[in-house]
Amino acid sequence: MQQKALRAVTSQFILTTMKKPYSNRLLLTALFAISTTVAAANPWSTRHIENPDGPGMAMDILYEGNPSARLIYGEGQMKPFLHVFGLEGELLTNPGVDAEGDTAGRFPHHRGIFIGWNRVRSELGNDDLWHLRRNESMEVTDIRTSAVTDDYAEIVAEIVWRSSNKDDAGDNTLLRETRTLRISKPDGQRNTTVDATFTLTAARDLSLGGDLQHAGVHFRAHRDVNDRANETIYMWDPDVDGGRGRIVNPEMRWCRLVYPISDQWYSTIQLNAPSNPTEELSWRDYGRFGFFFKREMQQDESFTINYRFITSPVRAPGENGFDQSMADAIRKLSDEAYQTYAEHF
């Protein structure tokens, strides 16, 4: 292991026996009291609001009233993406724009947890659904589901990927995507798990291509991490040489980034479902990493890919990174997390 490379709620009440009949009013009062108690006990909630930190809309996922994750989309945003928050409500992921909507920081098209390919080829020509510089777009057309249970919150969004060109009928649809984001805290309040499922359906014959630095499903840490890029630590499995930010290996199982946010350190691991197509892993020391593959698609063809992201606060590493015992412990935890996730596929 190289040191740098180390580097809804639905509650149903059935009244089966009663010693004496309730009046309708008393029954409604009793049911309201029970449902209020259940709702109060549920730590998860969602809210649909204007983005408080910039343009567009936000679907907040709250745990005990505090933001845990936030889906950002809409006017002024180049692509829909998911933010993740830290222990004190601090933003851990890159917004790409400032409060006025102006691009900010290095590589502002990298935003939170996101998906894209920079070479989408079809009868409409070549489109870049990564940088989206030529009027390409990813448009959220519907928030189909916003639901909570005692254990998680879930958002299902319908998204249309559009070309910069139109066909003879005036249609520029390339792909239709269903994005399912389930947020949970199975290990308590300190850890946030995002189960992300992307189902893509081709609206016409096309190919998803590009290169590993500009395609796939990625995580981008907050832009402030760029100023401390020499402190970030990466680990991955299999533990192979990952020089120059590229690993060509179809057996990649997970990648973990350790990074500073102000005085606190965090770790985010991306678990790659064994059912996913995989060609390469991309990583950059400023805090962006993810898995890449290419695919040819025929009209109406669909495929689904799944990833799990787990973000946790961690102990600050030393000047030379983690010592070997700490590195071994992190690797063991990462392997265990992957095995637990892989059992679902």
Q: pLDDT of 52-95, one tens digit each?
A: 989 999 999 999 999 999 999 999 999 999 999 999 999 999 98
Name the average pLDDT for the chain: 87
User: What integer pLDDT is reported at residue 13 of this predicted model?
Assistant: 28
Tell me: pLDDT of 8 over 60. no
User: What integer pLDDT is reported at residue 56 of this predicted model?
Assistant: 95
β 192-202/280-284 pair status: unpaired
130 by Cβ neighbours in 10 Å (0-12 / 13-18 / 19+) ranks as: buried
Separation between Cα atoms, residue 75 and residue 47, nearest integer Å = 18
User: What integer pLDDT is reported at residue 105 of this predicted model?
Assistant: 66
Residues 203-220 have a mean pLDDT of: 92
98 by Cβ neighbours in 10 Å (0-12 / 13-18 / 19+) ranks as: middle
User: What integer pLDDT is reported at residue 30 of this predicted model?
Assistant: 41
Q: What percent of the chain has pLDDT over 90?
A: 72
Please tell me which residue, 164 or 323, carries the higher pLDDT value: 164
Taking the CA atoms of 22, 27, 31 and 33 in sequence, report the sign of the dihedral they define.
Answer: negative
Residues 247-263 have a mean pLDDT of: 95
Q: Which of 77-86, 221-230, 313-322 has the lowest mean pLDDT?
A: 313-322
User: What integer pLDDT is reported at residue 106 of this predicted model?
Assistant: 80
Q: How big is the chain, counted in residues?
A: 345
Please tell me which residue, 87 or 40, carries the higher pLDDT value: 87
- For the record, the structure tokens of 3 come out as 């040191």
